Amino acid sequence: MRVGRSLTNSFLQLPKPGTSHWISCVLRRYVDPKRSKGGARIARFWGRFVASVLLVEDEALIQMMIADMLVELGHTVVAEASDLASALEHANNTEFDFAVLDVLLGRTSSEPVAAAIAERNIPFAFASGYGADGIPDRFQDRPLLTKPFQIDQLKRCIAKLIDER
């Protein structure tokens, strides 16, 4: 086994059994400085931008579905929250590139979480089964994913959020 570095990656190389060839695994991805402004870093890997995500959703099955979609799109869910307290903790202390917030966590508005994320200048989108009605007035300009949504809708929303960075 050997470890190598290039200008854009760190990698691990393992000998391929029965040959004189090596198998390489990328350990760290190239970070595009144009796409990372403070906070976490959006990495470029195989021509796609991948990002770290905070997911705030109170319904367990919907949370799992959205997390699976994000992973399928190549992103990493770095934190998940289903209540206001844990969502605020992550919003203030976790490094992430963008967030997807359920408008209502039970009967509680996610507005304090949105405010904390906005204060850190991190883009976010709301997800709601009730349309734009529940979105707080000061965040009406934020993207909205109307539940249930498809993966292509999520992909377009993420593209807008990443462009904001």
Which pLDDT band, with edges at 50, 70 and 90, does 155 fall under?
A: very high
Give the Cα separation of 52 and 100 in Å (integer).
11
Which pLDDT band, with edges at 50, 70 and 90, does 32 fall under?
A: very low
Task: Read off the pLDDT of residues 92-136 as tens digits, 9 standing for 90 and up.
Answer: 999 999 999 999 999 999 999 999 999 999 999 999 988 887 899
Q: Are residues 23 and 101 in the same domain?
A: no
Q: State both tokens at 79.
A: 């934190």
Task: Tell whether the model's pLDDT for residue 10 goes beyond 90.
Answer: no
- CATH number reported for the structural domain that contains residue 160 in this entry: 3.40.50.2300
Mean pLDDT, all residues of the chain: 80
- C-alpha distances (whole Å) from 109 to each of 43, 78, 101 are 32, 22, 10
Q: Are residues 13 and 63 in the same domain?
A: no
pTM: 0.72
Question: Closest Cα to residue 40, out of 84, 82, 91, 97?
Answer: 97
Q: Are residues 81 and 13 in the same domain?
A: no
Task: Tell whether the model's pLDDT for residue 87 goes beyond 80.
Answer: yes
First-to-last C-alpha distance (Å) of the chain: 38
Task: Tell whether the model's pLDDT for residue 151 goes beyond 60.
Answer: yes
Q: Are residues 23 and 67 in the same domain?
A: no
Question: For position 70, what pLDDT does the model report?
Answer: 94
Q: Are residues 9 and 71 in the same domain?
A: no
Mean of pLDDT values over 146-159: 94
Residues 134/109, Cβ–Cβ less than 8 Å: yes
Residue 107's domain comprises 43-164
Q: Are residues 23 and 82 in the same domain?
A: no
Q: Are residues 120 and 56 in the same domain?
A: yes
